[in-house]
Chain A
Amino acid sequence: ASGSLSNDTIPTSKMLRLFVLLGFAVSCCLASERQFCCSAEDRHIVEKQWEVLWGDTESSKLKIGFGSLLLQRLAKEVPEVTALFKKVNIEHPESGEFAAHSLRILNALDMIINLLDDPEALDAALDHLADQHHDREGVKKAHFKTFGQILHASLPRVLDDYNAMSWRSCFKGILLKISSKLQG
Chain B
Amino acid sequence: MKIVILVLAFVAVAMATECDNLTRLKVKSQWRRAYSHGHDREDFAQAIWRAIFAQVPDARGLFKRVHGDDTSSPEFEAHALRVLAGFDIVISILDQPAALKAELDHLEHQHDNRKIPDNYFDAFKTALLHVLPAQLGRCWDRDAWSACFDLIAHGVKGH
- A residues lining the B interface (CB < 8 Å): 47, 51, 54, 57, 59-61, 63-64, 95-97, 99-101, 103-104, 107-108, 110-111, 114-118, 120-125, 128
Among A47, A60, A61, which residue has its beta carbon within 8 angstroms of that of B38?
Answer: A47
- A99 and B88: CB pair below 8 A? no
- A124 and B78: CB pair below 8 A? yes
Query: How far does the Cβ of B65 sit from chain A's closest Cβ, in whole Å?
Result: 10
Instruction: Tell me the interface secondary structure of chain B in the complex.
Output: helix
- A47 and B102: CB pair below 8 A? no
- B85 and A110: CB pair below 8 A? yes
Among A47, A95, A117, which residue has its beta carbon within 8 angstroms of that of B98?
Answer: A95
How many pairs of A and B residues are in contact by the CB < 8 Å rule? 95
- A124 and B89: CB pair below 8 A? no
B79, B97, B99 pick with most chain A CB within 10 angstroms? B99
- A121 and B78: CB pair below 8 A? yes
Residues of A within 8 A of B89 (CB): 100, 103-104, 107
- A124 and B75: CB pair below 8 A? yes
Residues of B within 8 A of A95 (CB): 98, 102
- B residues lining the A interface (CB < 8 Å): 25, 28-29, 32, 37-39, 41-42, 74-75, 77-79, 81-82, 85-86, 88-89, 92-93, 96-103, 106
Query: How far does the Cβ of B118 sit from chain A's closest Cβ, in whole Å?
Result: 25
Q: Known A47-B37, A57-B32, A121-B74; judge A96-B102 contact (CB<8 A).
A: yes
Among A51, A59, A96, A121, which residue has its beta carbon within 8 angstroms of that of B42?
Answer: A121
- B102 and A115: CB pair below 8 A? no
Query: How far does the Cβ of B64 sit from chain A's closest Cβ, in whole Å?
Result: 15
Among B28, B29, B77, which residue has its beta carbon within 8 angstroms of that of A121?
Answer: B77
Residues of A within 8 A of B29 (CB): 57
Query: How far does the Cβ of A116 sit from chain B's closest Cβ, in whole Å?
Result: 8
Among B25, B79, B99, which residue has its beta carbon within 8 angstroms of that of A96?
Answer: B99
Residue of B nearest to A119 (CB): B74
Query: How far does the Cβ of B131 sit from chain A's closest Cβ, in whole Å?
Result: 17
- A99 and B81: CB pair below 8 A? no
- B42 and A111: CB pair below 8 A? no
Query: How far does the Cβ of A166 sit from chain B's closest Cβ, in whole Å?
Result: 16
Query: How far does the Cβ of B145 sit from chain A's closest Cβ, in whole Å?
Result: 15
Among A64, A111, A124, which residue has its beta carbon within 8 angstroms of that of B99?
Answer: A64
Among A57, A110, A117, A123, which residue has its beta carbon within 8 angstroms of that of B74?
Answer: A123
- B77 and A97: CB pair below 8 A? no
Listed by A's residue number, 14 A-B pairs whose Cβ atoms lie within 8 Å are A60-B93, A96-B98, A99-B102, A100-B89, A100-B99, A103-B103, A110-B88, A111-B81, A114-B37, A114-B41, A116-B38, A118-B42, A121-B42, A125-B81
